[in-house]
Amino acid sequence: MGGKLPRWRSIISQLADQLNALGERLVSALAEAHDAAALESVRVRFLGRSGEVTALRRGIGSLPPAERPEAGKVVNEAVTVWERLLAATDAALQRRALDAQLDVAIDVTFPAPPARAGSLHPLRRAMEDACAYFERRGFAVVLGDEMETEYYNFDALNIPPDHPAREGLDSFYLASGLLLRTHTSPMQIRTMQAHPPPIAIVVPGKSYRRDSMDARHSPMFNQIEGLMVAPGINMGHLKGMLTGMCREVFGPNQAVRFRPSFFPFTEPSAEVDTTCPGCGGSGSLAGGGCKTCGGAGWIEIGGSGMVHPEVLRESGYDPELVSGWAFGVGIERIAMVRHDMDDIRVLFENDPRVLEQLA
């Protein structure tokens, strides 16, 4: 043997010399890198996919199989050291850039740009205004789950199994017996079952129905539900409360009218209209008809009526001793009328330009 190193030791030694020389060039290049772009150029040159280290690694494949693991280990150890040098240089460049920024003189007396203040969304504002009206009159604001059972969404509200609203085309069913609530009315039942009369609540929240999205409809919409149950309650009380609410959200000159209708959970039932705030109920404006009400002078805001005796019984109340009224109003409809909108989608698109105008 003559004391000579094995052949693979000689190859590893040659590889180590190449790596040492490469490392010296890398350190020299890092010393010349004065910004992030230059540092990235150094990294690509030495450690990039087509860099010098990649060329060395490709040469390992030409070595005898027994020599490749040791050669790969030597290269990987060198690369680990170089990556740490790159990270340290990057951190030093960032500190240097920050120090340069801090050294710049700042005129603290120079006027700052005006702060942009946000505002409540039109839907939130309409909902809070309506709730505030009832809170001042002793009503409690009650919130409920958006996922409901068929019992609370339909059965307890006197909506029989063969009612069209229970078909899959109208409701979002999640699992057996569960669905996204189609109205906020389930909280009427839950509240009456949990508390004895008298009660007075309003229930704001989202509801869901299988409606196609267009200028007047959305599969998700906001409602505010009202319920009052006590001895001697009648339709006159309902009309007085809704007239006051309309004057609260639209203006002091509003009137309310009731048109006979049908709802399974109220009897008698009525659609609720209020004078159009756009034309003041005249149906016309200077230059033509009112587009808000289509010339009718009235706008529909929701449904209402006296709580059906079967609903009272299902909740554990005696309809011979107490009576009550209920209503449901769409918040989007209120917001659209207040802000003279003709497309419900404007309320959901959240265009900052529109919101700034409405603020």
Coil, helix or strand at residue 266: strand
- In 168-195, which positions are buried (b, 16+ CB within 10 angstroms) versus exposed (e)? eeebbeeeeeebbbbbbbbbbbbbbeee
| C-alpha of 301 from chain center | 25
pLDDT number for residue 2: 42
pLDDT in tens, 25-54: 888 888 888 888 888 888 888 888 777 777
| Cα–Cα distance list, 92 to 31, 42, 166, 197 (Å) | 11, 15, 67, 73
Can you state the angle between helices 122-135 and 235-250, rounded to 10 degrees?
A: 140
pLDDT number for residue 150: 92
> Over the chain, what is the mean pLDDT?
85
Cα–Cα distance, 195 to 227 (Å, whole number): 13
Cα–Cα distance, 98 to 105 (Å, whole number): 13
Coil, helix or strand at residue 200: strand
The DSSP call for residue 340 is T
What is the C-alpha R_g of the chain? 37
pLDDT number for residue 343: 81
**Which residues, 6+ apart, have CB-to-CB distance to 100 below 8 Å?**
none
Q: Which domains does the chain have, with CATH numbers?
A: 8-103 (no CATH), 122-358 (3.30.930.10)
DSSP string, 19-84: HHHHHHHHHHHHHH--SHHHHHHHHHHHHSTTSHHHHHHHHHTTS-TTTHHHHHHHHHHHHHHHHH
Cα–Cα distance, 140 to 199 (Å, whole number): 9
pLDDT number for residue 1: 39
* Cβ contact 183:225 at 8 Å: yes
Cα–Cα distance, 180 to 147 (Å, whole number): 5
**Which residues, 6+ apart, have CB-to-CB distance to 171 below 8 Å?**
153, 165, 179, 180, 182, 208, 209, 210
Q: What is the 3-state secondary structure (H, E, C) of 145-188?
A: CCEEEHHHHCHHHCCCCCCHHHCCCCCCEEECCEEECCCCCHHH
* Cβ contact 46:82 at 8 Å: yes
pLDDT number for residue 338: 83
pLDDT number for residue 169: 59
* Cβ contact 188:224 at 8 Å: no
Residues in the chain, pLDDT under 50: 1-5
pLDDT in tens, 177-220: 899 999 999 999 999 999 999 999 999 999 999 888 887 788 99
Its pTM stands at 0.65
**Which residues, 6+ apart, have CB-to-CB distance to 52 below 8 Å?**
22, 45, 46
